[in-house]
Amino acid sequence: MNVLTTAAGAPSASTTGSAGPAGPAGPAADPFRPEWHFTSERNWLNDPNGLVYLNGTYHLFYQHNPFGPEWGNMSWGHATSRDLLRWEEQPVAIPCDEREAIFSGSAVFDEHNTSGLGSAGTPPLVAIYTSAYSGASPLAGRQAQSLAYSLDEGTTWTKYSGNPVLDRASADFRDPKVFWYDGGAGSYWVMVAVEAVERQVVLYKSADLKNWEHLSTFGPANATGGVWECPDLFELPVDGNPADSRWVLIVNINPGGIAGGSAGQYFLGAFDGVEFRSESTVTEGLQQDGSLMREYGWLDWGRDYYAAVSFSGIADGRRIMIGWMNNWDYAGSIPTGSWRSAMSLPREVSLARIDGKVVLRQTAIDPFAGQDSPSFSLGPQALAPGVQELPVAAAVARIDVEFEPGTANSVGLLVRAGGAERTVISYDVADCILRLDRRESGQADFHAAFPSVEAVAVPLQDGRLRLGIHLDRCSVEVFAQDGLATITDLVFPVEASTALAVFAEGGGAHLVALDVVGR
């Protein structure tokens, strides 16, 4: 293919979304640094933690090593944003010490000071995190749940003197997600956490965030080929109808994810304030048979969307999640230099009934929303068999495309193409399978597990396939059929690989529309 080489411009300060600026030398010095996906300016990052919205500010805490670009010294880093896209990195919020590492957890605004950690006039923001006790602690080897609180909207944090608040004498009890339950059974705080190795979600309740009472245990069920981590539980209306709602239980799993390594699965069901009853359990118990993996609910069918959890404190009904855009299979080897790992774009999740079945829909918070003039557009036209290069460069961009496959065997796009590099997004018409192939996407040999092809079944709707694709220097996030299935993958092409092409194979297809925003 004759590849176009339009250079992508350096980001200006006003369009730099990430807290990690590319530096004075611009992207040439840091070609993989995303513009719209949060990265810590330096050093290691994994799970999003303590996602909470308060007084116009979104807080993103995260697993962070303040001292190096590898996992270790786990502490809570902190970033803030007013629009979920432009993040400002803040000082480390909760640092590790010689007694404990600060593992994943959540944060809530304790508006009525139920914890007594603030006062009526100054209610606290409370972080509920996992203390991973180390050598210098009498609890060495255990994981238990602890509190820290802030009386200045997240700027400074104090550990609660009565920590830990919940200890099961377990080595793998972690990742508490706390929310305020208000329903038939009463009003109280609920914690969902995991016994990771048992593949169980454990539920507790509390009136004050300090004293916890066991409610119930869920699992093992569905995918159990790895430890269960970072759960979440929330209620969503189906098609916006509050009289018809489901509870969504999120369970991240590593390894044993649908595309290999880390991934997030979800269960739909009912929660009565005590017990979660799943209506999407396909297999119960610990089982090794992987043949049903595609029957389970997956948050994403790619390799790089893990530890996804949702914000608390958003009162307008939106449920917004962020995932860690990486995979434990190779996270420590990605070729990004002094920083390692980005977050996914935030996603709004909702429930829809499609062909009688309730399913999750995800929509990315779009960096280009409101930018009404696309950089490049194609209207309805025939697509002859073959590859058609488009006269537009796309490295930090949103691409919206709609196909009618016609007589083609497959249709799709090449993104981040140049020289021998390309990431292939293809749709197999006969089998209704959408694939993302990153085997030739650029640097891929830094780890044997990295080159991969992801696949998800995507039925045509009214004979059409709609894809929304977000590119941001080192990532490709594909939202199929308005977010009914998503594939998120990292890619590491050279900076000049910005060409975009559409293709049809084995016959002619119809391109309904294609828009590119960005560059």
Binding site for ligand FRU (CB under 6 A): 46-47, 63, 74, 103-104, 130, 174-175, 229-230, 307
- Quote the least distance from Cβ 103 to ligand FRU, whole Å: 3
Which phi and psi (to 5°) does residue 101 adopt? -95, 150
Nearer to ligand FRU by Cβ, of 163 and 426: the residue is 163
Nearer to ligand FRU by Cβ, of 172 and 275: the residue is 172
Nearer to ligand FRU by Cβ, of 260 and 506: the residue is 260
User: Using CA atoms, how far apart are residues 142 and 459, in angstroms rounded to an integer?
Assistant: 46
- Quote the least distance from Cβ 15 to ligand FRU, whole Å: 31
Pairing of β 509-518 and β 381-383: antiparallel
Nearer to ligand FRU by Cβ, of 130 and 206: the residue is 130
- Quote the least distance from Cβ 70 to ligand FRU, whole Å: 12
Nearer to ligand FRU by Cβ, of 26 and 225: the residue is 225
SS3 291: helix
Pairing of β 319-324 and β 357-364: unpaired
Give the closest residue to 181 by CA, choosing from 274, 94, 96, 253: 274
CA–centroid distance for 134 within its chain = 29
Query: Quick one: residue 433, left, alpha or beta (phi over 0 = left, psi -120 to 50 = alpha)?
Result: beta
- Quote the least distance from Cβ 165 to ligand FRU, whole Å: 17
- Quote the least distance from Cβ 104 to ligand FRU, whole Å: 3
Place of tokens 């009463």: 186
Q: 471 - beta bridge partners?
A: 397, 476
Nearer to ligand FRU by Cβ, of 77 and 412: the residue is 77
- Quote the least distance from Cβ 169 to ligand FRU, whole Å: 18
Place of tokens 């369970």: 251
234: its two tokens? 């929330």
Annotated active-site residue in 30, 47, 300, 437 = 47
5: its two tokens? 């080489």
- Quote the least distance from Cβ 49 to ligand FRU, whole Å: 8
Residues near 12 by beta carbon (within 8 Å), at least 6 away in sequence: none
- Quote the least distance from Cβ 26 to ligand FRU, whole Å: 31
**Cis? peptide before 164, omega within 30° of 0:** yes
Residue 427 is classified by DSSP as: E
- How many helices (DSSP H) and strands (DSSP E) are in the chain? 0, 35
Question: What is the dihedral sign for C-alpha 382, 388, 392, 396?
Answer: positive
Nearer to ligand FRU by Cβ, of 72 and 317: the residue is 72
CA geometry: angle 275, 175, 60, nearest 5 deg: 115
Nearer to ligand FRU by Cβ, of 42 and 510: the residue is 42
Active site residue 167: no
Give the closest residue to 333 by CA, choosing from 483, 449, 169: 449
- Using alpha carbons, list the distances in angstroms from residue 336 to 60, 67, 72, 473: 21, 16, 18, 11
Pairing of β 339-340 and β 43-54: parallel
Active site residues: 47
